Structure 1
Amino acid sequence: MNACMLHTDITLLLNTMELRYQQAIKSNEPFSVLKKHYSELKQVRQAAAGKTILQSAPANS
């Protein structure tokens, strides 16, 4: 896989998740929703920094 393409995909994913989190804040979503978005964003940030491996979400979520 092209490293540049991978970097672009990760950047796009991070930007999308950050936007989703910010939109949830602006629309006064419940705390549980904010917590979920933040947790997902934090996990992707750590993976992008090479600190952890992404784990797939449970099938029931």
Structure 2
Amino acid sequence: MIATMEVLFRYLVFDDVGEPIRRFRTKHEAECYVLHRPNHKIERLPPQPKENVFNLITDEPPF
């Protein structure tokens, strides 16, 4: 469930001290929040690495 949250809320807003305070889905939402807060900054979370489904297969097929 936490991985889903990170994917949905990709933009983090940090306050003037450097603490993450809010998460947003879009950059536009984050920019609107930061508009009147001059010392806040926006950072984008890195995308989740794609999982190779073939690495999950451990046994050979029985044929």
Q: Same fold (TM over 0.5)?
A: no
TM-score when scaled to structure 1?
0.30
**TM-score normalized by structure 2?**
0.30
Q: Pick the structure with more strand per residue.
A: 2
Higher helix content, 1 or 2: 1
Structure with bigger gyration radius: 2
